[in-house]
Amino acid sequence: MERIPILKMGDFLLVTIQVDLYDQLAENLESDLINTIKKFSSKGVLIDISAVSIIDSFMGRILGNIAVMSKIMDAQTVVVGMQPAVAITLVELGLPLNGVISALNVEKGMELLRSKMYNSNDDEEYEYDDNE
């Protein structure tokens, strides 16, 4: 069965989706990620979707699920690299991905995850600015 690789980087997990998603692949990723968070007691998950050209309601829902589930497992999820056309399409479709934290690229996503880890007690005071 085809699977998306999950890489461990210290306290974080890195997932780079290089293929177009279909339902089963997205569902496998969801369960694999949650199991891997448990296995390594990971504190953060970075999902790079810069190579994904299509996200429909099902895959969008999976991304949202991953964010919520990882939070329950005490890990933060950041989605990075969404293509502009995908973002526009998702919002018009009616799926604004509320609850999913995103950053423009992997580097900013890593910064965001680190800052979230070290400032986990004063979350409210921290504001990430990606408009720079």
Partner 1 sequence: MTTRSMSTTTTNKEEIFIVREQDVVPLRNRVKDYALAVGMSILNQTKLITATSELVRNLLKYGGGGKVLIESVVNGRDNGVRVTFIDNGPGIADVSLAMKDGYSTGKSLGLGLPGTKRLVNEFDIRSEPGKGTTVMITKWKNG
Say if CB 93 and CB 56 are below 8 A apart: yes
Closer residue to partner 1 (CB): 5 or 96: 96
- Gap between the Cα atoms of 55 and 77, Å rounded: 17
Judged by beta carbon, residue 26 or residue 37, the one nearer partner 1 is: 26
- At its nearest, how many Å lie between partner 1 and the CB of residue 13? 25
Angle among Cα 101, 10, 112 to the nearest 5 degrees reads 25
CA–CA–CA angle 26, 28, 31 (5° rounding): 110
Question: What is the smallest separation between the CB atom of 70 and partner 1, expressed in angstroms?
Answer: 20
Taking the least distance from each CB to partner 1, the nearer of 58 and 126 is: 58
| Chain residues in the site for partner 1 (CB under 8 A) | 20, 22-24, 53-58, 61, 83-86, 88-89, 92-95
